[in-house]
């Protein structure tokens, strides 16, 4: 069995998608549709930068999605196969869940781009810059990270945002609490805490205003049943129906990304190969969660052609 996985924020880089678009009209069509949906020259920003503008949450989120979906569409076109022929499950990390839903046909590309633009804008506006932060805890499992977050809160918000793999957990909340957690990391048996260069404290209760904005937008969005099951970040399991997809996407804004459990659960169901589209970060996490699984990262046309030869 095979699962297709889609990366989250941090996977953006100037030049992303450029070579693929030069090699494939299918990729170009994806980027053109996203530009049209957003009424923005996003693909030019992806190709040329500047990096600081591409990194802005409202740009990075739709850009990462567009790059991942372009890679998927090229692979489907070159292989003359549909998603259902190629994989048993899809999943994505944070914003990557939207990419996964788009890949599975639950959301069309235009809707996905607009939702992610709004999601990025809403998350940025939810907390004034500097009031919140996030930190990666290296050498931490979920138990140690949760204990550290609880001890560091001291009346402020400090909670687990991303349970990435058995050795890395990300926490999120008020900046003061995050700084206390970094300082106390070693006391809790954690190798190191690193403040992340993010503009807002994602996946914690401080994102409440963004969750409200997404609830309103998702209520009006057209969703279809996915052609293959989508594993949700909030539950670490397949989403039963369309209404659940809406509800879980809203909960995801303030909830923990249960990536370690999602990958572990897919592996337990028999997934032996995880294929990441448009990035390499998730495959590294997968190897720590399910060491026996095969991982493949598809970014270039050469990657796609090599994958299809072996499929």
Positions annotated as catalytic residues are 94, 203
DSSP 188: G
Query: Per residue in 22-56, is it b (16+ CB within 10 Å) or e — as a string?
Result: eebebbbbbbebbbebbebebbebbbeeeeeebbb
Q: List all residues 6 or more positions away from 212 whose beta carbon is below 8 Å from its beta carbon.
A: none
- Rounded to an integer, what is the distance from CA 286 to the centroid of its chain? 14
- Rounded to an integer, what is the distance from CA 95 to the centroid of its chain? 4
| Ramachandran angles phi, psi of 175, nearest 5° | -60, -40
Q: List all residues 6 or more positions away from 33 whose beta carbon is below 8 Å from its beta carbon.
A: 109, 110, 113
């Amino acid at each position: 069995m095979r699962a297709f996985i889609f990366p989250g924020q941090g996977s953006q880089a100037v030049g992303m998608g450029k070579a693929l678009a030069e090699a494939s009209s299918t990729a170009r069509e994806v980027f053109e549709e996203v530009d049209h949906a957003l009424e923005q020259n996003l693909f030019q920003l992806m190709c040329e930068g500047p990096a600081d503008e591409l990194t802005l949450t409202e740009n990075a989120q739709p850009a990462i999605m567009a790059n991942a979906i372009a890679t998927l569409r090229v692979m489907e076109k070159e292989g003359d196969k549909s998603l259902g022929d190629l994989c048993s499950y899809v999943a994505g990390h944070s914003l990557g869940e939207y990419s996964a839903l788009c890949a599975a046909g639950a959301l069309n590309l235009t809707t996905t781009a607009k939702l992610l633009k709004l999601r990025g804008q809403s998350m940025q506006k939810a907390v004034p810059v500097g009031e919140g932060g996030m930190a990666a805890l290296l050498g931490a499992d979920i138990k140690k990270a949760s204990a550290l977050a609880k001890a560091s809160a001291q009346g402020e918000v400090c909670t687990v945002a991303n349970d990435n793999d058995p050795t890395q957990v990300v926490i999120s909340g008020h900046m003061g609490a995050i700084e206390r957690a970094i300082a106390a990391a070693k006391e809790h048996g954690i190798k190191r805490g690193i403040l992340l260069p993010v503009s807002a404290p994602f996946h914690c209760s401080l994102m409440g205003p963004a969750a409200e904005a997404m609830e309103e937008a998702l209520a009006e969005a057209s969703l279809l049943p996915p052609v293959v099951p989508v594993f949700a970040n909030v539950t670490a399991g397949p989403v039963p129906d369309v209404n659940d997809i809406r509800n879980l996407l809203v909960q995801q804004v303030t909830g923990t990304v249960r990536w370690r459990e999602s990958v572990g659960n897919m592996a337990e169901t028999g997934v032996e190969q995880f294929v990441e589209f448009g990035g390499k970060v998730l495959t590294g996490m997968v190897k720590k969660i399910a060491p026996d699984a095969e991982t493949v990262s598809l970014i270039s046309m050469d990657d796609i052609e090599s994958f299809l030869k072996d499929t």
